A and B are shown apart, each in its own frame.
Chain A
Amino acid sequence: AQSVTQLGSHVSVSEGALVLLRCNYSSSVPPYLFWYVQYPNQGLQLLLKYTSAATLVKGINGFEAEFKKSETSFHLTKPSAHMSDAAEYFCAVSDRGGTASKLTFGTGTRLQVTL
C-alpha cells in the first residue's frame, strides 16, 4: 500500500522567509505525488503534481516541489513566504493507474506566517 509521511504538523516562518514542507512517500511502484492546500473553511486546491520524468515541478502561487527517488521525498518549497500562504498543506500519493486510482493523504502541515 502507498503512503505519505509529512514531517512537522506545524511549521512557522517569517514573511519573506523560505518555506519548506516535507513529504516522504512509500510505494512499491513509481507513484504520482500531489500537494494540496486548504485555506480555512475552504475546499482543497491543487498546488502541483508529479506525474512524469520532470522531477522539479512548478505549481501555483510560487510553490514548487522536487521529486527525489533516492530519498523517496517530494518536499514543497517557496522562496519567500507571504501572509496569504497561511493554510493547511497536504501531500498525497496515488498509483499510476487510471480513473480508479485512490488518493492517499498525509496528515497535513499547518503553515503559519508571521510578520
Chain B
Amino acid sequence: SAVISQKPSRDICQRGTSLTIQCQVDSQVTMMFWYRQQPGQSLTLIATANQGSEATYESGFVIDKFPISRPNLTFSTLTVSNMSPEDSSIYLCSVTPQGAGYGYTFGSGTRLTVV
C-alpha cells in the first residue's frame, strides 16, 4: 500500500495567518483527498485534488479559504488561509492508489491550533 508523508505534524499559528500543509505519496496517484477532523469530531472531506485541474470542493468549503495545489501525481498541498480559532483541527490527506476496494491510506495528520 502507499505511504504518505505529511508535514508539518503540528503547528500553532496566529489568527489571520495562513498555513500550508504538504502531502507526499511514495507512488503516483490520480486523486488525493483532504479531510478535516475538528476536535472530538469525525472526518469531513474538504476537497478532492486531481493533478492538472482545479480541486473539487465539498459543500461548506471554498477555494479562497482552502486553496489546494496538485503539481504532480505524488504531491499536494492544502493551505488554510486567514485562520481563526475555529480552524483548529487535524487535517489529513488520503489516497486510494488501486481504487476504493483496496482501501485508503491516510497521512499521519497535521494538528493545527490557532491562537
Among B15-23, B62-70, B76-84, B106-114, the one that faces the other chain is B106-114
Contact in complex: A99, B42 (CB < 8 Å) = no
When distances are taken between beta carbons in the complex, the residues of chain A under 8 Å from B31 are: 99-100
| The residue from B45, B100, B106 contacting A44, defined by CB atoms under 8 A apart | B106
Residues in A34-84 with C-beta less than 8 Å from chain B: 34, 43-44, 46, 49, 51-52
Minimal Cβ-Cβ distance residue in A for B107: A43
Minimal beta-carbon separation of B94 from chain A (angstroms): 7
B99 contact set on A, CB distance < 8 A? 97-99, 101
**Highest count of chain B CB atoms <10 Å: which of A43, A95, A96:** A43
The answer to whether A51 and B101 touch across the interface, beta carbons within 8 angstroms, is yes
Cβ contact within 8 Å between A108 and B92: no
Residues of A within 8 A of B74 (CB): none
Q: Are A101 and B103 neighbours in the complex by a CB distance under 8 Å?
A: no
Tell me, yes or no, whether B33 is within 8 Å of chain A by CB: yes
Interface centre among B92, B100, B102 (most CB of A within 10 A): B100
Separation of A107 and B106 alpha carbons in the complex (Å): 18
Contacts of B41 in A (CB 8 A): 107-108
Given A43-B92, A106-B42, also A99-B30 (CB < 8 A): yes
Q: Per DSSP, are chain A's interface residues mostly helix, strand or loop, or mixed?
A: loop
For the complex, give the distance between the alpha carbons of A95 and B99 in Å: 10
Q: Known contacts being A32-B100, A97-B100, is A90 close to B92, with CB within 8 Å?
A: no
Do B42 and A108 touch across chains, with their CB atoms under 8 A apart? yes
Shortest beta-carbon distance, B60 to chain A, in Å? 14
The answer for the CA separation of A96 and B109 in the assembled complex, in Å, is 26
- Check if B42 sits within 8 Å of A90, measured CB to CB: yes
Say if the beta carbon of A105 comes within 8 Å of chain B. yes
Residues of chain A with a CB closer than 8 A to B33's CB:
102-103
CB neighbours (8 Å) of B106 from chain A are 43-44
Interface pairs A-B: 5 shortest CB-CB: A101-B100, A51-B101, A94-B100, A98-B99, A99-B30
Binding site for A on B (CB under 8 A): 29-31, 33, 41-45, 48, 50, 92, 94-104, 106-109
